Structures are given as C-alpha cells and as structure tokens.
Structure 1
C-alpha cells in the first residue's frame, strides 16, 4: 500500500494503467487533451506490477484500471473522472492539485 500511495503522490495526476486497456487509453488521452502532464504506470510492464494491482483491488477499484489519483488522492476510474468532469468539479480539482493553470 505504501508503495502505491508514494507513487500516487509523486505528480499532480498519476494514472495506473495497463497497456492493452482501451479505457486506460481513453483516460490518458482525455487528460492529455486537457493539457495535464500525467505520470502513467503501466502495471503490466513495471516491476512488481502484480503487487500494485492487488493494492488497487484492495482499494475497491472495479475495474482495477485505470486508477486515477489527483493530488495524491484516489479519484477512481473512468466513470468517476467523467462524472467529476460533467459536474464541473474536475477542472477545479486539477487546478488545486497544480496540474493545470487555466
């Protein structure tokens, strides 16, 4: 758990992803189009990726990826990010985390 939380707090926006996941690709593209510089960990390609996957599962993520952290806090997956965006809460959250300056 400590390793995941440490990785999640290294940048304003951190995404745990799998290289073959379509929704992961979608969420990474979405943040890129918003001008957010994310840190992405492809858990199927990094050492100890299975351990990260188990931790994300323990955090209650279903599906496990994409797992988005903003300002070191777990936001959730694609559905949660899109719900925040549609409600108008995502951009202020990204500003507060220092991810964007718009």
Structure 2
C-alpha cells in the first residue's frame, strides 16, 4: 500500500515522472529525448531504491505496465520509450508544455 501511495504522490507532484532503471538502454533513450526537448522531469531509478520492486508492482496495478521506462506526463500514463518516441513528432512538445515541463 505504501508503494502505491508513493507512486501516486510522485505522479501528482511532478509534471513528468520517469520510473526507470539505471542500466536500462530504453530508459536512457527516454531521458535523452526529454533532455533534448529541455523538459523538466523527475526520475526514480527503481534498481537504486530499497522499495523499487514494490514500486514496480504498484505501477503494474496502476498503469497495467510493469516494464521500464514507465512514463507519466501531466498525470497521464504515456507508456514506455517506444510510446514516447512515437509521440515525438506529433504532440509530445505540446503535452510537455501543457504539463508545465517546458516553457
């Protein structure tokens, strides 16, 4: 229960949240995409958190996605890296702007 509350708090308190693992190449790609757009975002590296596996279990229940990266923009579940990349040339900039992650 505490992990689910922590996840929801992170989603509610941040314009963009990336649930990540430090060694994951797809997570690195997501962070690079957000960096390239100048987005402000919060990253939580699940492999470096004591409750990382509990957080990952909570994410699976909340979003239906267990894999990382697990991305939220403006409290909306975006999906993973391929979902983020698919939106890059469509509505990603507007989504980030509307969430307050970019000027």
Q: Provide the rounded CA distance (Å) in 2 between the counterparts of 1:71 and 1:2.
A: 17
Q: Provide the rounded CA distance (Å) in 2 between the counterparts of 1:16 and 1:42.
A: 6
User: Gaps (5+ residues) in structure 2?
Assistant: none
TM-score norm. by structure 1 comes to 0.89
TM-fit CA distance, 1:15: 0.3
**Larger helix percent:** 2
Corresponding residue of 2:94: 92
Q: Provide the rounded CA distance (Å) in 1 between the counterparts of 2:80 and 2:29.
A: 11
User: Gaps (5+ residues) in structure 1?
Assistant: none
Once the two structures are superposed, what CA deviation does each residue of 1:18-68 show, in whole Å capped at 9, x if it has no partner? Answer: 011000011011101110121100001012111111122222225x10011
Aligned alpha-carbon RMSD (Å): 1.3
Q: Moved runs in structure 1, 4+ residues, more than 6 A?
A: none
Instruction: Give the conservation status (yes or no) of the 8 Å contact 1:13–1:70.
Output: yes
Corresponding residue of 1:7: 10
User: For this pair of structures, how many residues does the alignment match?
Assistant: 99
